[in-house]
């Protein structure tokens, strides 16, 4: 029986987060977009200019009977650096902050538990923002399923491929068969 839920979070470039999360068993869909800011209907250009307050995020539809929200967050938290403020690798700006946007009080409580549990695994303090989701805005169509459509592009090979390799090594038992 499908127990579909939604989760929204961001940790740097949404292409990276999308590529990692969509490989997990129980994930039905991943949509790249924007959330956590103040402008309505933001564009990629406005978000990149830092004037909207939004972060690049993904909204995940997942079957909680197959993968729990806590497990989804654990994979997310270990697939980026949650200890850097407004930065992931060479990407800098508020749009690249580490953020979890719970959809309800239960998700907020789980997010806080996951952050507390994972904290000892990092040398520096976790700076991931936890902020209730207000509105999610899907990104432009050319951002969707980016890695799968552009694997030969330099950014994908240099930045995303290592994340996929780490995922395969660390979470092999949670991967979809076709992506393992």
Annotated catalytic residue within 13, 16, 48, 156: 13
**Catalytic residue status for 16:** no
10 contacts 47 by C-beta, under 8 angstroms: no
- Do 4 and 61 contact (CB within 8 A), yes or no? yes
Give the strand pairing for 55-63 and 137-138: unpaired
d(CA 10, CA 36): 10
Please calculate the CA angle 29-16-48 and round it to the nearest 5 degrees: 105
How far apart CA 131 and CA 99 sit, in angstroms, is: 7
Going from the C-alpha of 83 to that of each of 13, 69, 176, the distances in angstroms are: 15, 21, 29
Active site residues: 13
């Amino acid at each position: 029986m499908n127990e579909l839920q939604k989760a929204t979070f961001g940790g740097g470039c949404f292409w990276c987060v999308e590529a990692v999360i969509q490989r997990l068993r129980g994930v039905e869909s991943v949509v790249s977009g924007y959330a956590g800011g103040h402008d309505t209907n933001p564009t990629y250009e406005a978000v990149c200019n830092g004037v909207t307050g939004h972060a690049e995020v993904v909204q995940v539809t997942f079957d909680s009977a197959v993968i729990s929200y806590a497990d989804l967050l654990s994979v997310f938290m270990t697939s980026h650096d949650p200890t850097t403020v407004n930065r992931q690798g060479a990407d800098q700006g508020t749009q690249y902050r580490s953020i979890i946007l719970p959809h309800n009080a239960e998700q907020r409580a789980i997010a806080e538990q996951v952050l507390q549990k994972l904290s000892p695994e990092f040398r520096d303090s976790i700076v991931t923002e936890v902020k209730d989701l207000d509105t999610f805005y899907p990104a432009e169509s050319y951002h969707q399923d980016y890695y799968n459509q552009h694997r030969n592009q330099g950014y994908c090979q240099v930045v995303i491929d290592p994340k996929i390799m780490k995922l395969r090594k660390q979470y092999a038992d949670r991967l979809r068969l076709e992506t393992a």
